[in-house]
């Protein structure tokens, strides 16, 4: 599928997983500063093809070069050769195909796979769905939205009893009044 300028457009049935955003410009040759949502942050560069844009309006780009410059992550995309084109990508979202992720180790999960999963406590009560996750020092925290919002530490065997990605459900040891 081709876009107006000839760039490939992602089919609407395949929504990329957000892994970062374009945060600024660097130089005059189209280099971009990017903010990574990956851990470690340089894992963003493990993906040779990026989808850049917004949900439903993605364009395909190939990562040509990348580097760490002080605290900034810089990237040169093959299709972006000047500052004018780079300006058009400011604040755009960076996505990648879910198929390009490495297999998660046992007991580890990608945040994107947990989003919208149903959260059920030990008593069988549905607390709601995972709205987002928050990095909070030693462990991540599930933000669960139901009849109210729950903040549940993602600590295996203590609060997280079972994650079933195929069913899209997470069992937790969390009381409805906690």
Q: In Å, how far are 29, 133, 142, 155 from 139, measured between CA atoms?
A: 40, 10, 10, 7
| Fold for the domain defined by 111-172 | SH3 type barrels. (2.30.30)
Scanning the structure block, which residue is given the tokens 């009849």?
147
Average pLDDT of span 34-45: 93
Which pLDDT belongs to residue 1?
A: 31
Residue 44 has pLDDT above 50, yes or no: yes
Instruction: Using DSSP bridges, classify how beta strands 139-145 and 126-136 pair: parallel, antiparallel or unpaired.
Output: antiparallel
The CATH superfamily holding the domain 17-100 is RimM (2.40.30.60)
Same fold across 17-100 and 111-172:
no
Q: How large is the average pLDDT for residues 136-148?
A: 92
Domain residue spans of the chain? 17-100, 111-172
Whether the full predicted model's pTM is greater than 0.85, yes or no, is no
Output the pLDDT for position 104.
87
What is the rounded distance in angstroms from the CA atom of residue 104 to the CA atom of residue 40?
A: 15
161: which residues sit within 8 A by CB, 6+ positions away? 122, 171, 172, 173
């Amino acid at each position: 599928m081709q876009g107006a300028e000839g760039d490939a457009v992602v089919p609407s049935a395949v929504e990329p997983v957000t892994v970062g955003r374009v945060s600024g410009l660097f130089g005059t040759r189209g280099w971009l500063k990017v903010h990574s949502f990956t851990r470690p942050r340089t894992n963003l560069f493990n993906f040779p093809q990026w989808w850049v844009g917004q949900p439903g309006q993605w364009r395909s780009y190939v990562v040509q070069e990348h580097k760490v410059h002080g605290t900034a992550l810089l990237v040169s995309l093959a299709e972006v050769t000047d500052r004018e084109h780079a300006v058009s990508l400011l604040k755009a979202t960076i996505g990648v195909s879910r198929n390009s992720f490495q297999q998660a180790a046992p007991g580890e999960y990608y945040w994107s796979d947990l989003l919208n999963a149903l959260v059920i406590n030990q008593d069988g009560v549905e607390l709601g769905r995972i709205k987002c996750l928050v990095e909070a020092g030693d462990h991540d925290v599930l933000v669960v939205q139901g009849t109210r919002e729950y903040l549940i530490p993602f600590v295996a065997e203590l609060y997280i009893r079972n994650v079933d990605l195929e069913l899209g459900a997470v069992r937790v040891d969390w009381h409805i009044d906690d």
